[in-house]
């Protein structure tokens, strides 16, 4: 217990860093994921293949490799990117592929008649997707989006553990560990911090689901 109370500031700071990292990356992932899902359900074959290529690439690349590309990789190439941006982009890109896949299945679950009705009312393709199909698709995939978010909270530890200079929960645990040599306690409290985040996310998505979900 001492390990926690003596280093409360460190753990709290780490928790806050992880929260911000996950929050920002979640936004990136949802925006990109929605765009890619739109590509994947479009009428045009080339656009569909571009979307497919995107998903297959970012779903199959290890996050650690992406992080090495976005941080030291781009910096060596003369791009002035900071640790935060690199971490958020890598985690966001990685997760966006999963979001795109989930949303695509959500779009498939919206009945074809909805789309046709929209088109016959004079909406364009994009407007139908944006105003009619996607809002319903989002509401069917709240559950899976929750699992993706939880996976993302856990994956955020990879960002802190690799070279990106972000002092997230895991990084703080390592700092506490090297200061106190209480390995088990330091990592136990770090695990509790992650659990706090995942449980909060679970509760939040349960709430959203109860309020907005369309059950099919």
Partner 1 sequence: MGYLFDPDNWEWVVTENNLGFLLEAFLINLQIAVIAMVLALAVGLVLALGAIARPAPVRLAAKAWVDVFRNIPLILLILYLALSQPQSVRDFWSDSAPGFLPDALRSEFILAGIGGLVLYNSAVLAEVFRAGILSLARGQREAAAALGLSYLQQMRHVVLPQGLRRMVPATVSQLITLNKDTTLVSIIAIQEVVRSGRVLAGTAGNPFTGSGVAAPILHVMIFVGLLFVIANYALSRLSRRLETRESRRIATVRTAPRVSEAPPA
In the complex, the residues that contact partner 1 under the rule CB under 8 A are 56-57, 59-66, 68-69, 72-74, 76-78, 150, 153-158, 161-163, 170, 173-174, 177, 183-184, 187, 190-191, 194-195, 198
Between CA 40 and CA 55 the distance in angstroms is: 9
Min dist CB 96 to partner 1, Å, is: 16
Q: Which is nearer to partner 1, 126 or 191 (CB)?
A: 191
For residues 91 and 155, the answer to whether their CB atoms sit within 8 Å is yes
Between CA 51 and CA 35 the distance in angstroms is: 9
CA quadruple 176, 179, 180, 182: dihedral sign: positive
Q: Which is nearer to partner 1, 46 or 77 (CB)?
A: 77
Between CA 78 and CA 68 the distance in angstroms is: 15
Min dist CB 42 to partner 1, Å, is: 22
Q: Which is nearer to partner 1, 134 or 150 (CB)?
A: 150
Min dist CB 73 to partner 1, Å, is: 3
Coil, helix or strand at residue 157: helix
Min dist CB 182 to partner 1, Å, is: 10
Residues 6+ apart with CB under 8 A from 152: 22, 25, 26, 29, 91, 95
Min dist CB 50 to partner 1, Å, is: 16
For residues 159 and 64, the answer to whether their CB atoms sit within 8 Å is no
Q: Which is nearer to partner 1, 117 or 195 (CB)?
A: 195
Min dist CB 170 to partner 1, Å, is: 6
For residues 176 and 7, the answer to whether their CB atoms sit within 8 Å is yes
Work out the angle at residue 7's Cα, subtended by the Cα atoms of residues 84 and 153, and round it to the nearest 5 degrees.
40
Q: Which is nearer to partner 1, 74 or 119 (CB)?
A: 74
Q: Which is nearer to partner 1, 136 or 180 (CB)?
A: 180
For residues 195 and 188, the answer to whether their CB atoms sit within 8 Å is no
């Amino acid at each position: 217990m001492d390990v926690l109370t003596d280093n409360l500031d460190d753990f709290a700071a780490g928790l806050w860093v992880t929260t911000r990292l996950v929050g920002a990356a979640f936004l990136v992932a949802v925006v990109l994921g929605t765009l890619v899902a739109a590509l994947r359900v479009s009428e045009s074959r080339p656009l569909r293949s571009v979307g497919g290529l995107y998903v297959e690439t970012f779903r199959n690349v290890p996050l650690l490799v992406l992080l090495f590309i976005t941080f030291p990789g781009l910096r060596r190439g003369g791009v002035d990117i900071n640790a935060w941006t690199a971490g958020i982009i890598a985690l966001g890109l990685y997760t966006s592929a999963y979001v795109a896949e989930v949303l695509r299945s959500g779009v498939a679950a919206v009945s074809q008649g909805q789309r046709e009705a929209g088109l016959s009312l004079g909406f364009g393709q994009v407007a139908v997707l944006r105003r009619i199909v996607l809002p319903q698709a989002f509401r069917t995939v709240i559950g899976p989006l929750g699992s993706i978010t939880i996976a993302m909270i856990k994956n955020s530890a990879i960002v802190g553990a690799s070279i990106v200079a972000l002092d997230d929960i895991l990084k703080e645990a390592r700092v506490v560990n090297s200061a106190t040599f209480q390995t088990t306690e330091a990592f136990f409290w770090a695990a509790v911090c992650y659990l706090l985040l995942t449980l909060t996310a679970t509760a939040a998505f349960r709430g959203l689901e109860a309020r907005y979900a369309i059950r099919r």
